[in-house]
Structure 1
Amino acid sequence: MPGPGRKTKATNKTTNESGSSANEIPNTQLDSFIGDIDNAEGWSPIVDILCQYFELPDISTRSGLKKVHANFESIYRRLDKAYTKNASNERVMGGIVGIYAKLSVDSLLRNKLFQKGFLERLFPLLDIPSCRHLALRALTTVTHHGGIEIRMKIAKSYLLLLRLLQDFPDDPKTVELSIVVLSHSLISTISDEGIKIDAHLGESLDLRDIVGIVTETLHKPAPSRVLVDHSVQLLASSTLHCKVPPTTVKFLVAGLRSNDWIFRCTCLGGLVRLHRNESEPDQRSLDPMKLMDCVSRPVPSHLNDILQAYGFQRSETLLTVKTAGEFQKAMMNSVSTHDLYTLGIALAGFILRTEFSISEGTFQTKNPENGRMETMDLGLPFTMWSDALPHCATAIRVKGLPATVDMADMLDMKFYIMRQRIPDAVKIAKTALKRNPDFAYAYYVLTLASDPVVGLRAAKKGIKCRNITPFVRFQMMQRAVEQAGEMGICILQESASTGDKKWEEGIAFLTSALEDSKTYISEAPPDNRHMKNVLYWNILLRITVEEEISADLREVQGSIRKLKIADDFSDWIGIPPPKTNLRLTQQTVVRLFPEATKEWGEFIGNSLAIMSQPTLSTEKVEDDLAAWLDDVHIEGKPDDHCHEPATFSSSRVELYRCSWCGNPSAILRKCGGCSKARYCDAGCQTSHWKDSHKKSCVKKNEE
C-alpha cells in the first residue's frame, strides 16, 4: 500500500500578516474524513487519511521533511488544532501523534515538536487502551532517534512506564515497547554525557527497582528479540549506578556463554562495571623495607618449591633485592668517583632488569647538634637519587659513543616515568624508535600512552624485538593483555548496529589478550606482581571466549589454582592483593557461575534463536504502523533498533591480526605478493619478510 502522504503533492503555503496560512484547510472539513477514519483497520491507514487531509508531503523522505521545515508553524498549528478539537476521538488523536513521531526522526523537527509540548500530547494516550501500543510505538521511535536531552526528559516519566510493565505483564507488546523506551531513555540519562547535563536526574531514578522489574520480564516464556536486546543493554549499563539484584548479576554471568558475541561482551562490560565504585586502586609501588623483611624469613615451603622449579635466579623477588643492593653500591661509588657516565651505564642495566630498579632516596647524615638526619652536599649535581638519571644521560651523550645512545634515552624516559610525566617519556620514545626500530624499552614506554591503540600496537611490536630482556618482555605482555582485553569489550559493545562487522575485530582483540595471558602465565616469574592481574583477565576471557566451559568451571581450575599461588606470593612479601575492580569481577564470576548457569542456562542457551527472530511483528492490522515508522529514507536504509546475531568462526580471527606481531586491527595492509599476509605497517611487513615470509610468499606466487 502507498505510504501515508504519498498520494498528494505538497501545497505551497503563503502566510498573511496575522501569521496564518492563506490556504489553510478549515478543521471543519475534517468531519468529512471522520467516517473513513472510524472505519479504517489499523493505525497506518488512519495516519494515511490524516496525511492526505492535511496535504502533507512524503515525510518518509528527506525532501518531504524539508517541505515540513518550510511550513512547520502552519502544519503544526493545523495538527494541534485538530488534536484539541477531537480530544474525544481516540483515533484522530492517535493518528496525529503518529505523524509527530514520524517527524521526530528529523532532529530539528523533533526539537521544535518538543518545544511545542509533544510529550504532553503523547503521554495521555498511554492510559487509553486502544492507543497504548501506538503511544509506546511512538515513544520507541522518538527515543531511538531522539537526542540525549529529549531522552532524559522522557526518563523523568519512568514511573509511568514501570506501571505499564506491572499492570499489563501478560501483554507482550506493552512489555516489549515499555522496556525499549526505558532502555533508550535511561541509558542516555546515566551515561557520562547525561550525568554532565543533569547528574541529579540519574540519582533520582529508582534504578534498582527498574532493573529488578526488567530482569523479571526475562523469566517469562518466549521473550522477543527486541525485548532481550534492549533489556541486556539496560541491565549492563546500570551496574555502575546501583546495587543490582543478585538475579541480575547471575543473568550477566550466565550471559558470558551466549552464542551471540555482542550479548556476551555486553554482559562482561556490565560485570566489569559492577564493582568499580567499591574497588581499591592497584599496587603502584613497592615498600623496600617489607621486601627485605620478607626475604630475611624462610620462604613458605609450597612457594619455595615453585621458585625452585622456575629458578631462584630468575624470580622477580630475588632480582629486585639483588638490583636494590647493586643500586645502593653504584650510588655510593659515585660519591667518591663523581663518574656520572659509569653510574649511568649501571643504572641503564638496572632499568632493564626489574620494575623497581631506581630507588628514591638521598645522601644523609645525622646532625651531631640536634640528632636530625640532614641531606649532605657531596659535590654531585643532584641530591635525590632519581635526579641522577637526567645528569647521567647527559654524561653518556657527552661521550658520544653510538652504542650508548639508547641508554641515555632510557635514563631520561625512566626519569619522566618516575615523575609521572608520561607524555614527555612518550615523546622521547617516538624519536628513539625512528633511530632504532628494535629499541624494546622505547616500545614499553609507548604502552604507557593514554591511547590504547598506540599502546597495544607498541606492546605487540616490542615483544618481537631481538634485543629484549625478560623483564621488559613481560611488562609489555601484561600491558598487551590489559589493553587488548579492554578494547575488545568496548568494540563489541559499540558495534551492535546491523551489518557492522567491526565486532569481529573485537573478538580478535579478546583472542589476542587470551593468547598473551596464557604465554605470560606459563613463562613469567610466578612471583611477578602483575601475575594476579593477568590471571584475572585469563579466567574471565577463558570463561567468555573458549568454546566449551562446564558449569563447575573445571576447564579453568588450573588458572584459579595459579591465582591462589599468586595471592600467596603477595601475602609473603607483605602486600595483600588489593581488591581491584578486575579482581572483584573475577571473583564474582567464578563464585556465581554454577548458580547462574542453573538459573539462566536454558535462557542463554536459546539466546541465538531469540536474537535470530525477525524484529517486526507479523500482526498486520496493528503493526503496519511499526513498519511505517521505521520506513525512513534519510540514511539510506531502515533501522530495526537491534543488532544481527554476532556468531563467529575462529578461522576469521587471523584476518584481523598482523602476520608479524599479532596486533589486532581492522585496518591492516595486505601483502602485495600473496594477498594473504596482513601487516600493521611497513615496519612489520619488512620484519616478516626478512624473518620468514619471503620464502612462503615466493612459493605462493610460483604456484
Structure 2
Amino acid sequence: MPSKKKGRRNESEGGGPASLSQLLAVAVRPSSQETAIKDICGMLGIPNVNSAKGLEQCHESFDACRDYRARNRVSSDSLAAVIIAIYGRIGQHNTLRRRVFSETQFLVHATSLLSSPTVRGVVIGTLLRVTTFKDAEVARFTPIFLDYVRQAPSGRVKDVVSILCRSTTAAISQANPELGLVARASLPRVLQLSFDTIRLPASTPLAFFHFVHLCFEISKSPYRHVLHSIRFLVDFLIACTRAEDASFRFFGLRSLIELYSESAASNCLGPAHIELREEYDGIRSFASEMEGMAELAELLNGFDQHAHQSQCDLGHALSELIQWNELVWRQLNEQQLGILETCEAAICRNASSTEDNITADILHVVNLLRKEPRQVAAFAQASIERHPSVPFFHYAMTVQPISSSEIYSSIVFAEKGLQCSSITDFLRRSLLAHVANCSYRILAMMLESEPGEFGLHQVNVLMKNISSHAAAFSQIAPVDHPLMPLMDTHVIHLEILAKGNTLTDELTELQTARDKLRSTCEVHYSVAEAFQPPKNSLALDHIFDRMPTAWRLWRQVISRQPVQTYRADAVPETSSDTDEFVAVLEKLAEVGPNVRFSDIQPAASSGGPRPKAAVDRYGVARLHCCSGCGAPSAVLKECVGCLNARYCDKTCQRRHWPALRKACKANSV
C-alpha cells in the first residue's frame, strides 16, 4: 500500500509524462542509472501486480519514451538499458507478465521504440527469457521475430529460430484459427530461415530436431502445400548422414526414416511424396555402403554423448534404423554375434539405471536382427553367466519364433526368467506379456490350421502353462483380457475336433484350465491393470488380419454370440454356433476360398434373427483377397457378371473373363 501511494504522489507531482522524461534523462547516465530505473518502476506501479492501472501506465510509459526520444534525440542504445530493466522487473511477477504478453501491441511498442537491430535483439532476448507462455502463444510474435532476424547477429538468430520452430509447430498442431493464420503467413520464411540456420557450423542436433518436427507437423496440417520444396530437406538429411559427427549421421538417418513414414502414412504430400519416394530409393542404396558393426558401434558411442540434448530414445531409434536398413543387416549374418555383444555392453552400462524400459528398447534391436531363436537363447544364457547381476531374460521377448516348437522354447525360457528372484517388476510384467503373446500366436496357428492338423499335446501343454500362471496373469490382465475369448473359441474348436473322436479328457482339462484362469482373474480384478502388449510383439488385430477365410468366417460366427456366452461356469450356446460353423466350412469347401460370408451364410438358429453380414470389432468382414492375384485388400471391385469374385484392378478382372466369358463379360457390357 505505501508503494502504491508513493507512485501516485510521484505521478501527480511530476505531471505524468514530464516526470517520466526527467527520470529517463537521469536513467541514460550510467552513474545514476540504477536509482532512476527503480524510480521509474515504482512510478509505473510495477510492484503492484494486481493493479489494472499498472498495465495502462506501461503503455503510456512507452508512448512517453517514444516522444521523449523524438524531442531530445536520446540514443536508442542508452534507452534500451532502461527498457530491459523494466522488462526484467516485470518478469519477476507472473500475473503482470501474463497480462502484458497477452497483448501484441505491448511488444510492438517495445520493439518499434528501438531502431538498432542489435539492441532490438537484446530486448527480444530479454522478453523470451522472462516469458513463461506456451510455444503456441509465442507464435503471435512471429512477424516481429522474422523482422528482427534479418540483421541480427548469427548468435542471436540461432536462439530465435529455435523458438520460431517450436512456436510455429505448436500453433499448427493446436488448430487455433487465429494462430493458424499467423503461422500460415510466416511458414515459408520460417522454413527457409530454419534451414539456413541449421546449416551454420554452430548449429546443434536439437535445433535440427525442432526443424524436422516442424516439417512433420506441416505435412499433416492444411498448410502442407508449403512443403513443395521438400527436396531441400531430403538433400540436407542426406548431407547429415555423411557428416563427420556420428550423432549427425544418426539423426540424419533417423529423420529420413521418420519423414518418409510420416508422409507415407498421412498420404498428404501429393507430388512431394512421389519426389520423396524417388529420393528414398537413393537413400536405401546409400545405406548399403554403411560399414556394419563399426557404424553401429560408432552410433552407440555418438548417441551416448548427445542423449540428453536430443531427447530421443536410443533403443527405439536404433531399432528403427536397423529395421529401415533391414536388407543391409541381413547380409551381416557373420557379424550378428558381434552386434549382440555390442548391445550387451550397452545394457551393462545402463544396468544401474532405474529406467528398465531403456534396457528393453535397446534389446529390441536383437529382434530385428532375425537371429535364430535357439542361438539367441544360448547367447542369453551365456550373458547371464558373464553378468549374473544383469537379468538377460529380455532376450526371450526379442525372439520372433516361427514354428510352434520355437514358440514353446521361447515360453520355457521366459518361465525361467519369471522364476529368477533378481528381475525387476517391469521385466516380470514384460515376460508375462511375452508369454501371452506367444499364446496368441500358437492359438492363431491352431485356429488357422485344418481340423485335426494341430497337435493336441502341444495345445494342452500351452493351456497348462497359461493356467499355471493364472495368478500372475490376473495382475496385468483384466477380466476382459483378449486371451479369454481366444480360450473360449479354442474350446469350441476342440469340440469340433471331438466329433467322432475320443477327446473328452483333453476337452475337460482345457475347460478346467480356462475356468481356473477366469476365476483367478475375477478375484484380482480390482487390482488388475490394463494389458499393454510389448511394442515388439505381434498385435492381436494383426494376427486376425492374417487369418485365412475360414478363420475370418469363424470370428464372424463367434462375434454374434451374446455376451453371457463367455462365463466361467458353462458355455451354454456353443452347440448351435459350432453347428453353424461346421456348415460354413462345408459350404466353403464347395464354393472356394474367396467368397463373401453373406453368400454362404446358413439359416439362422432358433436364438433369433441374425444380421446378414455381421462385421466384428476387428473389421475382418471387410478384408478380402483378389480373385486374380490373391493380394488382400479392403477395397475390391465385384465382378458384375457372376457376383462371386472380387478384383483389385481391371487387369485381374480380364484374367477372370476367359474362364467365364459368357456369364461375366456379357453381363458386364
Tell me the TM-score range normalised by the shorter chain.
0.3 to 0.5
TM-score, structure 1 normalization: 0.36
TM-score by length of structure 2 reads 0.38
Please identify the structure whose Cα radius of gyration is greater: 2
Higher relative contact order (Cα pairs below 8 Å, separated by 6+ residues): 1
